[in-house]
Amino acid sequence: MWRIALVSNQWGGPMDVAKARLNFLTLEPVGSSDVRPSILASWVRSQHFKLPPDRIALPYISDPDLELPLSRSARPVLQQLHENLDGQAISIILTDRSGLVLQRLTADAGLGRYLDKVHLAPGFSYAEEFAGTNGIGTALEGGGPMHVFGHEHYAEDLEELACAGVPIKHPITGKTVGAIDLTCWRKDAGSLLIALAKTTADNIRAAMLADSSTRELALLQAYRNSSRRLGDMVMVVDDDLLMMNAQARQFLDAADQRAVLGYAGESLARGTADSVAAELPSGTWVRISCRPVEGGAHGTAGLIQVTVLGTDGDQTPAMVSHRPPSRPLLPGLVGRSAAWLGSSREADNACRARQWVVLTGERGVGKVALARAAHQQNDAGGPLRVVDAAAAGFALELEAELADDTLHTLVIRHAERLDARMVDFTVDTLYGVLERRPSSLPWVVLTLTPDDGEAPDLGDLLTLFPLTVDVPPLRHHIEDVRELVPYFLDRLSHGELSCGPDTMRQLMRSPWPGNTAELCHVLQQVVARRRRAGVIAPGDLPARVQAISRRSLSQLEALERDAIIRSLLANDGHKGRAAKSLGMSRATIYRKIHDYGIQ
């Protein structure tokens, strides 16, 4: 049995750590030599999560998905380790990337009973946001090996234990897919614990590399079969794999590739074979065809074919040899993601053609800002007016604005707030301007927020608007937060305030249900209440932004999360029916609800 000093001589022994923890919890000073910096940082995070230090309260999933590629690859490795430990009081624990315990092997009955008592068992999440400082959650949070001994745990129920956790990285992508943890009694802990955990993580990575060959073979076969067709751009995507042929690499730049993957992600989340015509950020019209590929990770593997279309929507027989030049970013707008640039381009084109358009999207996504920017780009000298359909004097204001023959652009906000009588009035008023100014029509933009209460029947009104542009929620172009934050801070603090890298990562992890408007409001709160110069630290952010997911979601993951939420709403919260409608197992939807933080 392994027995050595619990911590190095640089920091205090167990009693010193226990005193440091007590001082921390009672807001007394904690010396830098009393506890390891990584442990102190984890205590601070645990406190930000408002976790109780005197008890363990963890979320539970009754049926965790045990058929993940990680679980299948790790199973023989863990069983071999369990046999080699030969009944010693050491528990072997495997978790997914969110800290959800998938498997536990424990030979010692006493240790097993204690782990059951503290819920270190399959189905419970030991993410740091739920369990505080511990070998699993803190290793995942830090992205590297972590040992936590005795009183270093934030929850006192774990003080009798010592644990060594190591994140498991995917052998190809390098992404964290889970964690391996070895837990024993505090009195039995030794230096070999962390070394053994690292070796086990390496063995699991090697097993995943060997096991992934079958899955990748199916994807490769689909890719090769489709690539033989002359002129096609072909891509194969999985949760950890992307392949494309030479045509796709040469013709699609990075922004176009992200746009194609975004369209494909929506199709794959539905589990259907779809084809859609779309304009890419570069201005090229293409047809994107996507179908699931058997053998890939469930719900994420698909074959994508991209065909260039002519300007009239017809398929061109041969691909053009060069990409048309991109129009510049619309003035006053921030963000260069494919999803955002695609919406901006559609609004820009509509304004140039003087085509009336509906901008639809969630509250706070920037629909009015998009209309203003398109107007500024194409008609900077002409007047623009905004009328609010939710305002008491809407009818008089609309009539007055449209009676002004100098008006160039009119934005009608909150069309979803119109009642039946006001819908009829708006239709009649717009028809009036069509008859009176047929050769010099203003550009009219209607903004619509779907699912915002009981929507009226807008059928007659929408017939006047031949084009609808979907403005994406911020979570679908989360990479634009890197440009939005300095833009807002420059306006709020006149260049005296900046955002630290840790804070930026924290901001990019939020789902931002209030979208860009919410991000701006959060930064206004920081400036008004916390800091007006210098660098914003994570502790300066409001609590609701600090207590969020450990990682940011990719566009594919955000689309999948939204599809799950829509299905849950459509099925009155019944997880089994929602899973069936999405083509998922019940275990998978439970895991994803936890992983995505769906309430």
**pLDDT given for residue 39 in this prediction:** 93
**CATH 3.30.450.20 describes domain 230-320:** yes
- Average the pLDDT over 211-231 and give the result: 65
**CATH 3.40.50.300 describes domain 338-472:** yes
The single-letter DSSP state of residue 283 is S
| Cα-trace Rg, the chain | 28
Cα-based distances in Å from 446 to 375, 402, 412: 14, 14, 5
Q: Fill in the amino acid letter for 290.
A: C
Domain positions in the chain: 14-210, 230-320, 338-472, 547-599
- E strand or H helix at 116: helix 109-117
Are residues 536 and 516 in contact, defined by beta-carbon separation less than 8 angstroms?
no
**pLDDT given for residue 317 in this prediction:** 38
CATH fold match for the domains 14-210 and 338-472: no
**pLDDT given for residue 239 in this prediction:** 61
Q: Using alpha carbons only, what angle is made at residue 388 by residues 386 and 394, rounded to the nearest 5 degrees? A: 110
**pLDDT given for residue 13 in this prediction:** 63
pTM greater than the 0.75 cutoff: no
* Three-class secondary structure of residue 347 per DSSP: helix
The strand pairing partners of 384, in sequence order, are 409
242-272: buried (b, 16+ CB within 10 Å) or exposed (e) per residue?
ebbbebbeebbbebbbbbbbbbbbbbbbbee
* Cα 2 from Cα 336, distance rounded (Å): 54
User: Model confidence at 597, in pLDDT bands (50, 70, 90)?
Assistant: low
**pLDDT given for residue 136 in this prediction:** 96
277-287: buried (b, 16+ CB within 10 Å) or exposed (e) per residue?
ebebbbebbbe
Q: CATH class for domain 14-210?
A: alpha beta
Name every residue whose Cβ is closer than 8 Å to that of residue 15 and which is 6 or more positions away in sequence. none
Instruction: Share the mean pLDDT of the chain.
Output: 82
**pLDDT given for residue 543 in this prediction:** 65
User: Model confidence at 538, in pLDDT bands (50, 70, 90)?
Assistant: confident
User: Model confidence at 150, in pLDDT bands (50, 70, 90)?
Assistant: very high
Between 547 and 3, where is the model more confident? Answer: 547
* Cα 153 from Cα 162, distance rounded (Å): 9
At 312-334, the pLDDT tens digits run 444 443 333 333 334 456 888 88
Question: Measuring CA to CA, which residue among 94, 70, 69 is closest to residue 81?
Answer: 94
* Cα 570 from Cα 283, distance rounded (Å): 36
Residue 387 has pLDDT above 50, yes or no: yes
**pLDDT given for residue 68 in this prediction:** 77
**pLDDT given for residue 460 in this prediction:** 87
Q: Torsions phi, psi of 536, nearest 5?
A: -75, 125
Task: Give me 80's structure tokens.
Answer: 């071999």
At 349-374, the pLDDT tens digits run 999 989 999 999 999 999 999 999 99
Q: Report the first-to-last Cα separation within the chain, whole angstroms.
A: 44
CA dihedral (363, 365, 369, 371) in degrees, to 10, reads -90
**pLDDT given for residue 181 in this prediction:** 97
**pLDDT given for residue 3 in this prediction:** 33
- E strand or H helix at 543: helix 543-546
- Average the pLDDT over 380-396 and give the result: 91
The strand pairing partners of 291, in sequence order, are 303
At 257-296, the pLDDT tens digits run 877 887 777 777 666 677 888 777 777 888 888 888 765 4
**pLDDT given for residue 180 in this prediction:** 97
At 455-496, the pLDDT tens digits run 568 888 999 998 999 999 998 888 889 899 999 998 888 778
**CATH 1.10.10.60 describes domain 547-599:** yes
**pLDDT given for residue 553 in this prediction:** 64
- E strand or H helix at 185: strand 176-185
- Average the pLDDT over 525-543 and give the result: 83
Q: Using alpha carbons only, what angle is made at residue 238 by residues 236 and 240, rounded to the nearest 5 degrees? A: 120
User: Model confidence at 93, in pLDDT bands (50, 70, 90)?
Assistant: very high
At 41-90, the pLDDT tens digits run 999 999 888 899 988 889 888 777 777 788 989 999 999 999 988 878 99
**pLDDT given for residue 359 in this prediction:** 95
Between 104 and 286, where is the model more confident? Answer: 104
